[in-house]
Structure 1
Amino acid sequence: MKKKILASLLAGALTVSMLAGCAGNPDKGSKDSSDSSDKSGLNICILTADGTIDDGSYNENCYDGIVDFIDENPDATVKEVNTADLSQCIQAVQDTIADYDVLVLPGYNFAAIGEIAADNPDKDIILVDSAVTNSDGTEVELDNVYSMTFTEQESGFLAGIAAALETKTGKVAVVNGIAYPSNTNYQFGFESGVAYANAKYGSSAELVELPSYAGTDMNGENVGGNYIGSFSDVATGKVIGDTLIDQGVDIIFVAAGAGGMGVFTSAKESTDAKVIGVDVDQYDDGVNGDSNIILTSALKKMDVVVYNELNLIKEGKFEGKNEILSSSTDSVGIVTEEGRQQLSQGTIDKLNESYDLMKEGTVVPASGDNGYTPDDFPGLK
């Protein structure tokens, strides 16, 4: 993906110095949404963990939404604060919140900000991929926090159908970063899509998993799959990619942040392997000489939501809530645009059909928490 540049405004990534802190009371913040003062000059901070704003997918897509806002509001500014220590993400928010008008927090590790947000009702927070919780894990809604989660299983489902229909070897796989809910959703959705294509469209694709790289979810359950164990470990991504391709896999769905670039390299070094990108259109990242390794990309439109929420903050219309975004709001999908994918027209037709069935609720792919499995979900049988 072509990275959007904001060099004049991005002063550089900061390494957060972690200091001991204490959280306040988890009372709901009292935000006055009637404030109509000009907020075009917002001072915005994006906090990242286990990856940065140039990861080519997840964090970068959230950042791009900020860039789109600043393009239209040049008085606004943005800075990235990055911490590589996942255990210190909440402390990073505590250390940073006083200095900015808006925090954008991409990732599950930033969920437990309830007390901090309640103590800072004049600060607006956009949380990606998790509902906001208190430090004890209790889900809360706050007037100054908008949290978005996506039905990644739906995008993953479409990726699985595409892989099953386009594979030449009959072997496909999914590679993830860490078994957070968004990643297990992608995994289970992909596996559901492969099963659906085999059952409904006559494919016979086999899912390949490497037991030594099986994932463990937040409940301590083995979810199988192929997990790097990080969103930034390119070397392990390359090892997994090489191993899968050596076992005959020719299409790999990669949902692993910057760590997925290792799998991309494996595909580029092979003769036949293709990759399905994630979160954003990664076609530009797939260029390999005069060819391209990207079959298509599974999408969730984080940049659009971040951009929209920043505009609501600017207009004094921001509302805190925990929102689930899905095919019903056209917030997930897969790339079918000509020149940005390498799918057959027959596959595109089946993807469009499947998307419509998901949107109307006839097909409900398995996710990490909806009680269905990739071999038993509504619409499969």
Structure 2
Amino acid sequence: MKTWKKTSAVAAVALVASATLAGCGSAPEKKAGAKTDFLPCMVSDAGGFDDHSFNQLSYEGFKDAAKELGADSKQFESKTANDYTPAINQFVNQGCDAIVTVGFALSAATVEAAKANPKIDFILIDDAADNDFNGKKDAENIKPILYNTAQAAFLAGYAAADYTKTGVVGTYGGQPYPTVTIFMDGFKQGIDYYNKEKGKKVKLVGWEGNNKGVFTGGFDANEKATNTAKQILDQNADVILPVGGPIYQGALTAIKDSGKDIALVGVDADFYETDPNTRPLVLTSILKNMKQSTMEAVLAAGKGNFDPNSYIGTLENNGVGLAPFHNFESKINPALPGELDKVKAGIIDGSIKVNSYLNAQ
């Protein structure tokens, strides 16, 4: 039985006709000269489509699918949680055939809309759509897209433990949602495994497990995010993992202010590629292949092959992974990449156990 609580849906507030629901321009014509009338739509979490993280990756996959289908599309960029329900309902009223909602915070609003509109395909990213906490999704017309990022975070924890010079590694999150703490759990397990295998005592600060850790209370790149990162760095951590979309930007500020040699670990996307400002600092990133999985789900819906079964990204199916070390290639232990390959193989074949809430899915 799951014990966490998800954010409740905010009461619907009618959107006026001039709301900022953005429709994109005409898509390229298909080879046959005809354009599909399938209309996919997307609602972002409050981080926006330019968060260099999960909203952006999902949006890119969504747009690629629309382009391949030859479909027009509509998207709405949420600013606050108050936007979720009205935006989804507006897309229902505009005749969207598939509605993609990005992030666990939209789960309640998505479930409510799916129950009321069983003929619309809903794709919910980063949540199991089980708001009743019974282990089963709450509407049959929702496809949950999930990622067992604990597996990839395990590799990042191992790498961080091998890299640290102070013997202290840190992490903090936005809010204690399962899709946030799964990173922190895997990261801790990777450090623990490294210590066991190497006879080391690398310390993790900011996360003890069992929902005991350091959180900013939200997902904004604000002063709280910076101060939280400073709290971690003040404990002598020289590798830091911020989990929660834009909150990593607070870590960038904290690292700069510290004047110390600190390495950053990214989440969701390869920060080196999505945010050039991180390039001097990012050791590696814990990847979710959100772009590909979102694209495939929308393509299936557009071709009349909507599959409501849950998708879970793993190391084995390349749904999660670890980014290259990029500028840190010359700074890491030369033996580390080979060791990580062995650890990855052990996770895939089951000889190395990685615990996460998704193991029971």
TM-score of the superposition, structure 1-length normalised? 0.77
Which residue in 2 is equivalent to 1:119?
A: 116
Would the aligned equivalents of 1:122 and 1:144 in 2 still touch at CA under 8 Å? yes
**Corresponding residue of 1:272:** 261
- Aligned AA (2:252): F
User: 1:19 is matched with which residue: 13, 23, 31?
Assistant: 13
CA distance in 1, matches of 2:202, 2:37: 52
**1:103 pairs with one of 99, 105, 116:** 99
Which of 325-334 and 139-148 deviates more?
139-148
Deviation at 1:370, TM superposition (A): 5.5
Distance 1:267-1:51 versus aligned 2 partners, 3 A rule: same
Q: Do structure 1's residue 164 and structure 2's residue 158 form an aligned pair?
A: no
Q: TM-score, normalised by structure 2?
A: 0.81
Matched residue, 2:19: none
Deviation track 1:81-112 (CA, whole Å, cap 9, x = no partner) reads: 414126x6345433432322221111112223
Equivalence for 1:49: 45
Provide the C-alpha distance between the structure 2 equivalents of 1:183 and 1:359, rounded to a whole number of angstroms. 22
Structure 1 residue matching 2:306: 3-state secondary structure: coil
What does residue 346 of structure 1 align with? 335
Residue 207 of structure 1 aligns to a residue whose secondary structure is strand
Distance 1:79 1:331 in 2: 24
Cα separation, 1, equivalents of 2:238 and 2:325: 22
Q: Cα 1:62–1:288, aligned 2, differ >3 Å: closer, same or farther?
A: closer
1:293 is aligned to 281
Query: Which shows bigger deviation, 344-353 or 73-82?
Result: 73-82
- Indicate the SS of the match to 1:227: coil
For 1:368 and 1:145, the matched residues in 2 are separated by 20
> Is the 8 Å Cα contact of residues 56 and 257 (structure 1) preserved in structure 2?
yes
Task: Name the counterpart of 1:323.
Answer: 311
In 2 relative to 1, CA 50–357 (structure 1 residues): closer, same or farther, beyond 3 Å?
A: same
Equivalent residue for 2:88? Answer: 93
In structure 2, how many angstroms separate the alpha carbons of the residues matched to 1:79 and 1:123? Answer: 16
Pick aligned residue for 2:191 from 190, 194, 206: 194
Partner of residue 356, structure 1: 345
Aligned-residue offset at 1:366: 2.8
Deviation of the 1:246 alpha carbon? 2.6
Report the count of equivalent residues. Answer: 328
Instruction: Report the Cα distance in structure 2 between the residues aligned to 1:185 and 1:230, rounded to whole angstroms.
Output: 17
Shift in alpha-carbon separation, 1:287–1:48, aligned structure 2, 3 A: closer
Structure 1 residues 150 and 190 mapped into 2: Cα distance closer, same or farther (>3 Å)? same
Question: Which residue of structure 2 aligns with residue 152 of structure 1?
Answer: 149
Deviation larger for 189-198 or 63-72: 63-72
- Any gaps of 5 or more consecutive residues in structure 1? 1-15, 21-37, 216-221, 372-381
Q: Is the 8 A contact 1:18 1:95 kept in 2?
A: no
Q: Structure 2: how far apart are the matches of 1:161 and 1:199? A: 11
Change over 3 Å in CA distance of 1:165–1:330 after alignment to 2: same
Distance 1:292 1:144 in 2: 44
- Cα distance in 1 for partners of 2:328, 2:291 equals 19
Between the aligned partners of 2:325 and 2:93, the Cα distance in structure 1 is 43
**By how many angstroms is 1:79 displaced?**
1.7
Query: For 1:345, what is the secondary structure of its paired residue?
Result: coil
When residues 257 and 338 of structure 1 are mapped into structure 2, their CA distance, relative to the original with a 3 A threshold, is closer
* Kept after mapping to 1: 8 A contact 2:49/2:77: no
| Secondary structure of residue in 2 paired with 1:111 | helix
Residue 224 (structure 1) aligned with residue 224 (structure 2): no
Unaligned runs of 5+ in 2: 1-9, 15-33
Local SS of the residue matching 1:126: strand
SS where residue 248 of structure 1 aligns? coil
Which letter does structure 2 place at the counterpart of 1:126? I
- Cα distance per residue 1:222-250 (max 9 Å; x no partner): 62222111111432111122222232111
Q: Secondary structure at the match of 1:178?
A: coil
8 Å CA contact 2:147–2:314 kept in 1: the answer is yes
Whether contact under 8 Å (1:42, 1:101) holds in the other structure is yes
2:128 maps to a residue whose letter is A
Q: Deviations over 1:148-172 (max 9, x none)?
A: 1111211211111111000111110
Provide the rounded CA distance (Å) in 1 between the counterparts of 2:332 and 2:267.
16
CA 1:167–1:317 in structure 2 vs 1: closer, same or farther (change >3 Å)? same
For residues 67 and 323 of structure 2, what CA distance do their matches in structure 1 show? Answer: 25
Confirm whether residue 128 of structure 1 aligns to residue 116 of structure 2.
no
In structure 2, distance between residues paired with 1:106 and 1:154: 22
Secondary structure at the counterpart of residue 89 of structure 1: helix
Aligned with residue 309 of structure 1, among 273, 289, 297 = 297
1:49-71 deviation digits (Å, cap 9, x = unpaired): 33111111111111111132244
Q: Say if 1:296 and 1:343, in contact at 8 Å, map to a contact too.
A: no
CA distance in 2, matches of 1:47, 1:282: 23
Query: For residue 89 of structure 2, what is the amino acid of its counterpart?
Result: Q
User: Cα offset for 1:314?
Assistant: 2.2
